[in-house]
Amino acid sequence: MTHTFAETSAAIDASDDPDPSSETGNPQRGLFGRLREVFSASDVPEAPANPAKPAPAMPGLASLRRLRVADVAIPKAEIVAVPRVISPHDLMEVFRESGFSRLPVYNETLDKPLGLLLLKDFFLRRGLDAGTEMLELDEYLRPLLFVPPSMPLTVLFQKMQAQRVHMALVIDEYGGVDGLLTIEDLLEEVVGDIGDEHDTDDENLWTAEGEGVWQVQARAMLEDLRLALGFDLAEGIEDDDVDTLGGLVYLLAGRVPARGEVIAHPAGHEIEVLEGDPRRIKRLRIRQSTGTAPETP
């Protein structure tokens, strides 16, 4: 049975199960239970038991209380989603290429979202032999959370905690999808970037793709790249305070460029944005200018 946007929203609003982690004396608090204490804490810190050793504070917590959904959500153009009718092969390809374990599902267009598909739900019910026939994903879907862009992040967190939903779609004033936000995005606002098994280790900040072409993490230092690649990306750049490739791209573009955008370097190199979000760049591709002579370290 196909669920409409309104039916999905109603199902979410009707879900008001109590949080088991809130029971008095329960030592096994879940992620939401522990984080709720942080988000609901007063902005005025309590006096530490030992004045000589003040309690450490999470540096991003104060700014999180001032931010809204629109400040953090990824834009609609970058949302990875799947239609409700899809072949098992195509579905697995989307999971594999994106690296995500959960995806929004839509009917016809992304502006008609139906719910959330978890990779583990699909495999637990279908097994490894998913078959070759076209699938209707309605029976595998979990509810999605729909929020306005103006909602404070602390309110969104409370909704995610109460309804046990880890992903929210941002809905504009016309009822269309405007962006997407996950619980990890909220956590990163507090504790910084959260690495996972898909992130590149520090010792592999760049890899060669071919002659004069490299994939590079945005946090790679320009001096390290000069020694490794044989040419200086800082050459011709007036700002001496730029130390990383990501900072250089910010400077050249004058803003945070979008994924797929190619930034021209003064020396003729091309820097393509491969991965990022509205707040930062993560991974880039450098194409060296053919007229650039390698440096001698």
Q: What is the pLDDT of residue 60?
A: 54
Question: What's the mean pLDDT in 108-112?
Answer: 91
| pTM of the predicted protein model | 0.52
Q: What is the pLDDT of residue 190?
A: 65
Question: What's the mean pLDDT in 117-142?
Answer: 82
Question: What's the mean pLDDT in 98-119?
Answer: 91
In which order are the strands placed within the sheet that holds 145-147? 74-75, 177-182, 167-171, 145-147
Q: What is the pLDDT of residue 24?
A: 41
pLDDT tens per residue across span 160-213: 888 888 899 999 888 899 999 988 887 776 665 555 544 544 457 899 998 999
Alpha carbon distance 186, 201 (integer Å): 23
pLDDT tens per residue across span 204-247: 789 999 899 999 988 888 988 999 999 999 888 876 667 889 88
Q: Is 92 helix (H, G, I), strand (E, B) or coil?
A: helix
pLDDT tens per residue across span 25-48: 444 445 555 555 555 544 444 444
State the residue for tokens 């994924």: 259
Q: What is the pLDDT of residue 273?
A: 92
Q: How many CB atoms lie within 10 A of CB 116?
A: 23
Q: Is 167 helix (H, G, I), strand (E, B) or coil?
A: strand
Q: What is the DSSP letter of 21?
A: G
Cβ neighbours for 93, distance < 8 A, ≥ 6 positions apart: none
Q: How many CA atoms lie within 13 A of 19 on its CB side?
A: 21
pLDDT tens per residue across span 44-98: 444 444 544 444 444 456 656 778 898 888 888 778 899 999 988 888 888 888 8
Answer for the pair 85, 135: CB distance below 8 angstroms, yes or no: yes
286/6: higher pLDDT:
286
